[in-house]
Homo-oligomer: A and B are copies of this chain.
Amino acid sequence: MSFIKTPAVPVESINPKVKDCEYAVRGEIFNHAQRLQEELEKNPGSRPFDEIIYCNLGNPQALGQKPITFFRQSKILSTLTGKSTGAYSHSKGVKGLREMIADGIALRDGYPANPEDIFLTDGASAAVHMILQLLIRSENDGILCPIPQYPLYSAAITLHGGTLVPYYLSEANNWGLEVFELKGRLDWARENGISVKAMVVINPGNPTGQVLSESNQQEIVELCRKEGLVLLADEVYQDNVYVKDKKFISFKRIIKSVYREDEISLVSFQSISKGYYGECGKRGGYMELCGFREDVKDQIYKVASVNLCSNTSGQILASLIMNPPKPGEESHKLFFSEKEAILSSLGRRAKALEDAFNSMEGVSCQKAEGAMYLFPRIKLPNKAIEAAKKASMVPDAFYALRLLDATGLVLVPGSGFGQVPGTWHVRTTILPDESKIPAIVSRLKAFHESFMREFQD
């Protein structure tokens, strides 16, 4: 009846997989934080805080961390090799850089790595997308994912049309991974007609911060082998371990020490955005494939080639983080002192925040053994849960929104990562500048006390 055609794209007409995907790390709380920041810029003093502190995202340099000198000065590497950073590279990445990464992996694991099995990508997220796109054919294909999990996995599985098969990490057991839980979930999925293709393990954990024990890793590998699952090992926090009694061991090393090449398929993801380097904006990362057939690797290479290549600055940085200066080399002294300063400070910040949460009424927080996060559990009073319901909000999002409005601190509600039903959590990074931690702790505690008082049952 109208003379005007409706615009071509009503939201009802778009891909439902796009509509269904969710990513809480930059969700509603984050959007609200950005509005608050604009408001503060226009009207300083209009809020009970001066600045917004973004603890929602592992983004160290946004919170003041300085780049490691060596990684930035070594940009000359690109000119030294005579390669132009302005040209498309090989779709897996510049071969010389992949060779450097393979050397670094070999040194880390004690087993050789093949540069042809390494694919450089614009951050690890792009690699995760590529592999999930490869594995998922329909909603009958399942991917085992930890709960809580980094929501890239749930978002990507939804976008690619598969089914997330959850397994719960055991909070009481410092977020450890229990094999009987895995087996139960696998049986459940199969009884429901889901063919489980792969299992995601995040080690050190995001958002949970645990570092898996070697024996736990061995159990996981054996399960994947027996059940024919591809092991997707998110190892982007491999340089972030803060406790003396734990160390990072790659899944590749676990596998190589026991199995033959063709017995199990592994993808290991690494990123330049984490560790002590935190070069998030440069978007670099890689995946290493082990135990994949040549014809399948050819398919992955083809998909990589459709997008030509990842950015060369990110590629160079990926080669450098896997090949940092060695003792005796000219750059080593400064590099080592910068690295140690960052890692020991991260360890102290993790401990200070952990202690703060554990001192708060109704809050319990597991140890941050590694990664960049804490995931404290908050026993919310029934009145708070009621108030959230009235505001049509998930209770932990209600808590996080109140916290943001009162303090300027941006945390992510636990519901964005998944949690045992009826439990509530928040995730915070440990990244604010160390000098700010005492003030943050005070604000957190003051807010929490007043929140608990307001809603006491």
Contacts and interface: CB of A to CB of B under 8 A. Distances in A.
Interface residues of A, number: 84
A10 B309 contact: no
A152 B305 CA distance: 10
Given A5-B226, A296-B9, A311-B282, A303 B86 contact: no
B89 A152 contact: no
Given A15-B136, A15-B137, A26 B305 contact: yes
Contacts of A7: 228, 262-265, 291-293
Contacts of A134: 14-15, 18
Interface string A72-100: 00000000000011111101000000000
B10 A293 contact: yes
A183 interface: no
A394 interface: no
A155 interface: yes
A309 B61 CA distance: 14
A224 B18 CA distance: 24
7 contacts: A5-B226, A9-B292, A61-B86, A86-B279, A88-B281, A122-B283, A283-B312
Given A7-B293, A18-B133, A23-B302, 17 more contacts: A5-B263, A7-B291, A8-B197, A8-B198, A9-B296, A10-B296, A13-B197, A14-B137, A21-B303, A60-B86, A67-B84, A84-B281, A86-B279, A129-B307, A159-B306, A311-B311, A313-B313
Nearest 5 CB-CB pairings of A with B: A62-B87, A283-B311, A281-B312, A61-B86, A26-B305
